[in-house]
Amino acid sequence: MAATLALSSSAFAAEQAMDLDTLLKQLEQGQSAQNAQNAQREAQFKAQQSEQVRMLRELTSNRDGELNRSERLETQFEENEIKLGNLSDTLSKRMGSLKELFGVLQQVAGDSSNKFRTSVVSAEIPNRSAFMDDMAKRMGSSTKLASIEDIEKVWVELQREMTEQGKVSRYTSDVIVAGGTKTQKEVLRVGAFNLIADGKYLSYNPETNTLSELTRQPTARFTQSAAELQSTQSGIVDFALDPTGGSILGLLVQAPNTKEQVEQGGAVGYVILGVGLLALLIALERFISLMIMGAKINRQLKDSVAREDNPLGRVMKVKEQYPDVAYDTLELKLSEAILREMPKITRNLTLIKIISVVAPLLGLLGTVTGMINTFQAITLFGTGDPKLMAGGISTALVTTVLGLVVAIPTVFLYTLLNTRSRNLLLILQEQSAGIIAERSEKGA
Amino acid sequence: MVLLVDAINALREFLDTGGQVLLVIGLVTFLMWLLILERFMFVFGKFRTYRKDLLNSWSSREERNSWNAEQIRQAMISRAGIQLNSNLPYINVMVALCPLLGLLGTVTGMIEVFNVMAITGSGSARSMAAGVSKATIPTMAGMVGALSGVFASTFLQRKAKREVELLEDKLLLDH
């Protein structure tokens, strides 16, 4: 190191050397210094040789020691393995039938945890499934044994569920009503089947442990029985319960109501309903005017003086207007007068008839357009999703229903009005002459 | 008493499986048979005395040859015709309405089937069974109702027509 320093310092000096002689001198000096250094190094290596041999020997002995140790540990590990196998054999032998018991315990705990979570009994007695979950996990790990207390607790919980299923119990709880607000209410639990409050069926949400009123209640027959059950304190009451523990009632919420179904009919549906309303209005007007006309004609039948306010009277007036004509002419005049009255009696009836025929046709039109939409959906999305197709098909069928719903009463109304008007016409056509003849005979 | 309760329960169950439309069909069929019964009672009871009175008053007329007599005869026959034909159109329209109502039930039942499919997203036959029974039972009931009325209404119509013709034959004009 020192030699290097010397060399560099001489090199530094060389920069200052300005002539060749001094440079040569310097080179010679440098070479000699290097030779000296090499010799020194050689001596040093020779001195250290014995030391190196010693270190090598030391390390070899070290390695041999470690190899021995690893061999020893390996045999020990094998021995331990055999011991462990023997011990676990003994364990399983000694557990014997108990092992099966723990398996059953795990299964029961797991099953009943699930059952408790969804059971409506949990609305009244919460947090029962946590212990069961813990129990099932412990039994599954097989490192811990179940204590007598744990096993008894499983029994007690199962027994409690069973007892509660056979009970009708009342308690107060928070209930989420239709508006979304929480109110305290007296809740009635019928076994593990239904929860009711204020005569309305409730649904139980196991995730949040909350009760909420079903937004759509079943028909009055069932809600009435619920109200009856809540109001009575003793005795036997009829009650409609959901044996699935709320899933049927849950489906009820999803089913569309009448208004939504009518809306499914779309534009064609509204056209049908509009036409139906028109028919109804016309029929109402016709019904009233035919009633009035019929009453007036009936009064005219009893009255000998012909009046101007009814068709029969106007027809009978013809006889008075032409007192001295021949019978042939009189008959012509009478039929002429009857023809004048006919449009007033049969007015708009054809329109009702047309509507009663057109309404089912419109329904068919809606069905076909709905089916076209369904098939377009199938072209776009394939037949994979039955929900997609079913929606379109039920829309298509709604228009058919609307068509029939309009057509059936319209046909009935048409028959009703037609019979009435035909009877009035019969009186005019076939009897007016007869009535005139009878009166003229009596007068004669 | 127990039998009555059983019968009512069975009927209620039938109506529940068939749906609301079945109730309407039942009502229409009942009304139809009520009218048919009333017609039969009229044709075979009251109408006979009416016809006798009519024939008597015609035969007791002094002259049966003039224009007046002809017109009075026409009026008599027409009145008898009105009486014979009253309510018949209603029976006919009810016979026609029964299959229509059955069709209505079929379609509402099918809608229910497709609603179930839309909600559950599956074609499970068990969940659709309720809708299918609501679709088929009203059709059957409508057919039964219509068929039961068709014969009676046809008979009554022919009877009315024949009675009018008989009257026309019996109320003779003198020439």
Distance CA B31, CA B91 (A): 9
Would you place residue A241 in the very low, low, confident or very high pLDDT band (cuts 50, 70, 90)? confident
Residues 102 through 141 of chain B touching chain A, CB cutoff 8 Å: 103-104, 107-108, 110-111, 114-115, 117-123
Q: Which among B163, B80, B160, B62 has a CA at the least distance from the CA of A430?
A: B80
Q: Which of B82, B93, B107 sits opposite A411 (nearest CB)?
A: B93
Q: Report which DSSP code applies to A313.
A: H
- Cβ-defined contact of B122 to A386 (cutoff 8 Å): yes
CA quadruple B129, B135, B141, B145: dihedral, nearest 10: 180
**Stretch A79-103: mean pLDDT, rounded?**
84
Which residue in the block uniquely carries the two structure tokens 């009856």? A228
Q: Are strands A168-176 and A210-213 parallel, antiparallel or unpaired?
A: parallel
Here the tokens at position A80 are 């331990």
A189/chain B closest Cα distance in angstroms = 27
- The answer to whether the CB of B97 falls within 8 A of the CB of B28 is yes
pTM: 0.65
Q: What percent of chain A has pLDDT over 90?
A: 21
Element (H, E) at A204: strand A200-205
- The answer to whether the CB of B175 falls within 8 A of the CB of B65 is yes
Q: Which residues of B touch A435 (CB under 8 A)?
A: 75
Per-residue confidence (pLDDT) for residue B122, from 0 to 100: 67
Per-residue confidence (pLDDT) for residue A282, from 0 to 100: 95
Q: Which of B93, B103, B119 sits opposite A254 (nearest CB)?
A: B119
- Cβ-defined contact of A255 to B67 (cutoff 8 Å): no
Which residue in the block uniquely carries the two structure tokens 């035909």? A422
- Cβ-defined contact of B115 to A390 (cutoff 8 Å): yes
Here the tokens at position A108 are 């029961």
What is the secondary structure of A142-188 as a DSSP string?
Answer: -SSPPPHHHHHHHHHHHHHHHHHHT-EEEEEEEEE-TTS-EEEEEEE
Per-residue confidence (pLDDT) for residue B123, from 0 to 100: 66
Distance CA A351, CA A353 (A): 5
**Stretch A53-66: mean pLDDT, rounded?**
92
Q: Which among B150, B139, B22 has a CA at the least distance from the CA of B95?
A: B150
Please give the interface size between A and B, counted as residue pairs whose CB atoms are below 8 Å apart.
101
What is the secondary structure of B147-167 as a DSSP string?
Answer: HHHHHHHHHHHHHHHHHHHHH
Distance CA B162, CA B157 (A): 9
According to DSSP H, which parts of A210-256 are helical?
220-231, 247-254
pLDDT greater at residue A419 or residue A436: A419
B154/chain A closest Cα distance in angstroms = 17
Query: Tens digit of pLDDT for each residue in A308-357?
Result: 888 888 888 887 788 777 777 887 888 888 888 888 888 889 999 999 99
Q: Which among A233, A267, A213 has a CA at the least distance from the CA of A402?
A: A267
* Mean pLDDT of all residues belonging to chain A: 83
What is the secondary structure of A48-70 as a DSSP string?
Answer: HHHHHHHHHHHHHHHHHHHHHHH
Per-residue confidence (pLDDT) for residue B158, from 0 to 100: 94
Q: How many of the other CB atoms lie within 10 Å of CB of A140?
A: 13
What is the secondary structure of B57-115 as a DSSP string?
Answer: HHHT-S---SHHHHHHHHHHHHHHHHHHHTTHHHHHHHHHHHHHHHHHHHHHHHHHHHH
Q: Report which DSSP code applies to A309.
A: S
Whether pLDDT at A97 is above 80:
no
B44/chain A closest Cα distance in angstroms = 23
Indicate which of A430, A435, A436, A439 best probes the interface with B, i.e. most B CBs within 10 Å of its own CB.
A430
Whether pLDDT at A83 is above 70:
yes
Q: Which among A260, A120, A257, A274 has a CA at the least distance from the CA of A197?
A: A120
Q: Are strands A200-205 and A210-213 parallel, antiparallel or unpaired?
A: antiparallel
Per-residue confidence (pLDDT) for residue A14, from 0 to 100: 47
Q: Which of B69, B75, B123 sits opposite A431 (nearest CB)?
A: B75
Stretch among A53-57, A277-281, A431-435, B67-71 having the lowest mean pLDDT = A431-435
Whether pLDDT at A1 is above 90:
no
- The answer to whether the CB of A404 falls within 8 A of the CB of B107 is yes
pLDDT in tens, chain B (175 residues): 788 889 888 888 888 787 788 889 999 999 999 999 999 999 999 999 999 998 898 888 877 777 788 888 888 888 899 889 888 999 999 999 999 999 999 988 888 888 777 777 666 777 778 788 888 899 999 999 999 999 999 999 999 999 999 998 888 877 6
- Cβ-defined contact of A437 to B82 (cutoff 8 Å): no
Q: List % helix, strand, coil for chain A (3-state, nearest 5).
A: 75, 5, 20
| Sign, CA torsion A424/A425/A431/A432 | positive
**Stretch A273-301: mean pLDDT, rounded?**
92
Q: Where are the domains of chain B?
A: 22-173
Q: Which of A255, A385, A415 sits opposite B90 (nearest CB)?
A: A415
Whether pLDDT at A16 is above 60:
no
Distance CA B141, CA B65 (A): 55
Query: Tens digit of pLDDT for each residue in A102-148?
Result: 788 888 888 888 888 888 888 888 778 888 888 888 877 766 677 88
- Cβ-defined contact of B90 to A411 (cutoff 8 Å): no
Length of chain B counted residue by residue: 175
- Cβ-defined contact of A411 to B97 (cutoff 8 Å): yes
Q: Which of B78, B96, B110 sits opposite A397 (nearest CB)?
A: B110
3-state SS class at A247 = helix
Q: Which of B101, B107, B115 sits opposite A400 (nearest CB)?
A: B107
Q: Report which DSSP code applies to A202.
A: E
Distance CA B138, CA A408 (A): 15
Task: Show which residues on chain A lie within 8 Å of chain B, measured between beta carbons.
Answer: 251, 254-256, 261, 327, 385-387, 390-391, 393-394, 397-398, 400-401, 404-405, 407-408, 411-412, 415-416, 418-419, 423, 426-427, 430-431, 433-438, 440-441
A348 phi/psi in degrees, rounded to 5:
65, -5
Nearest CA in chain A to B90: A415
Q: Which residues of B touch A438 (CB under 8 A)?
A: 68, 72, 75
B111/chain A closest Cα distance in angstroms = 5
- Cβ-defined contact of B111 to A397 (cutoff 8 Å): yes
Element (H, E) at B37: helix B20-41
Q: Which among B97, B115, B107, B116 has a CA at the least distance from the CA of B134?
A: B107
B98/chain A closest Cα distance in angstroms = 9
| Sign, CA torsion B9/B15/B16/B18 | positive
Which of A55-69, A175-189, A206-220 is predicted most confidently?
A55-69
Q: Which residues of B touch A272 (CB under 8 A)?
A: none
User: What b/e sequence results for A80-92 when a residue is b if at least 16 CB atoms lie within 10 Å of its CB, and e otherwise?
Assistant: eeeeeeeeeeeee
Distance CA A171, CA A185 (A): 8
Q: Which of A408, A433, A436 sits opposite B101 (nearest CB)?
A: A408
Per-residue confidence (pLDDT) for residue A204, from 0 to 100: 84
Per-residue confidence (pLDDT) for residue A433, from 0 to 100: 77
Query: Tens digit of pLDDT for each residue in A365-404?
Result: 999 988 888 888 888 877 767 777 777 777 788 899 999 9
Distance CA B95, CA B156 (A): 13
Q: Which of B72, B76, B114 sits opposite A393 (nearest CB)?
A: B114
B71 touches A at CB < 8 Å: yes
CA quadruple B146, B148, B150, B156: dihedral, nearest 10: -140
One-letter amino acid of A267: A
Q: Which residues of A touch B132 (CB under 8 A)?
A: none
A94/chain B closest Cα distance in angstroms = 50
- The answer to whether the CB of B58 falls within 8 A of the CB of B76 is yes
